[in-house]
Amino acid sequence: MLSASGTTIFEAMSALAREHGAVNLGQGFPDDRGRLDLRRAAADYVIDGHNQYPPMMGLPALRQAVAAHDRRFYGLEVDWQSEVLVTSGATEALCDCFLGLLEAGDEVVLLEPAYDTYAPVIRRLGAIPRPVRLVPPAWSLPYDELAAAFSPRTKLLVLNSPMNPCGKVFSRDELAVLAELILRHDAFAVCDEVYEHLVFGAARHIPLMTLPGMRDRVLRIGSAGKTFSITGWKIGYITGPAALLRPVTKAHQFVTFTTAPNLQHAVALGLGLDDEYFAGIAAPLARGRDRLVTGLTALGMPTLPCDGTYFVVLDVTRWLRPGEDDIAFCRRLVAEAGVVLIPMSAFYESGPPRHLVRACFCKEDATIDAALDRLRTWVAVQRT
What residues pair up with 159 in beta bridges, in sequence order?
191
Nearer to ligand PLP, 234 or 289 (CB): 234
Residue 230 CB, shortest distance to ligand PLP, in Å, is 10
Query: By CB under 6 A, is residue 196 in contact with ligand PLP?
Result: no
Work out how close the CB of 87 gets to ligand PLP at its nearest, in angstroms, rounded to a whole number: 8
Query: How many residues of this chain bind ligand PLP (CB under 6 A)?
Result: 14
Interface with ligand PLP (CB under 6 A), residue from 30, 113, 236, 241 = 236
Which residues from 292-311 bind ligand PLP, rule CB under 6 A?
Answer: none
Q: Give the CB-nearest residue to ligand PLP.
A: 89
- For residues 270 and 227, is the Cβ–Cβ distance under 8 A? yes
Nearer to ligand PLP, 223 or 303 (CB): 223
* Interaction between residue 24 and ligand PLP (CB under 6 A): no
Residues in Cβ contact with 106 at an 8 Å cutoff, skipping those fewer than 6 apart: 127, 128, 153, 154, 155, 156
- Under rule CB under 6 A, residue 193 binds ligand PLP: no
CB of 201 to ligand PLP, least distance (A): 20
Entry field: residues in the chain: 384
- In 3D, which of 200, 206, 210, 253 has the Cα closest to residue 87? 253
75-104 footprint of ligand PLP as x/- string (CB under 6 A): --------------xxx-------------
- Residue nearer to ligand PLP on the CB measure, 167 or 338: 167
CB of 160 to ligand PLP, least distance (A): 5
CB of 352 to ligand PLP, least distance (A): 17
- Smaller CB distance to ligand PLP: residue 59 or 342? 342
- Cβ of residue 194: shortest distance to ligand PLP, in angstroms? 5
- Residue 115 lies near ligand PLP (rule: CB under 6 A): yes
The pairing of beta strand 128-133 with beta strand 188-192: unpaired
Complex with ligand PLP: residue 207 or 338, whichever CB lies closer: 207
Does 229 sit near ligand PLP (CB under 6 A)?
A: no
CB of 236 to ligand PLP, least distance (A): 5
The minimum distance between CB 379 and ligand PLP, in angstroms, equals: 29
By the rule CB under 6 A, 231 interacts with ligand PLP: yes
Residues that bind ligand PLP (CB under 6 A): 28, 89-91, 115, 160, 164, 192, 194, 223, 225, 231, 234, 236
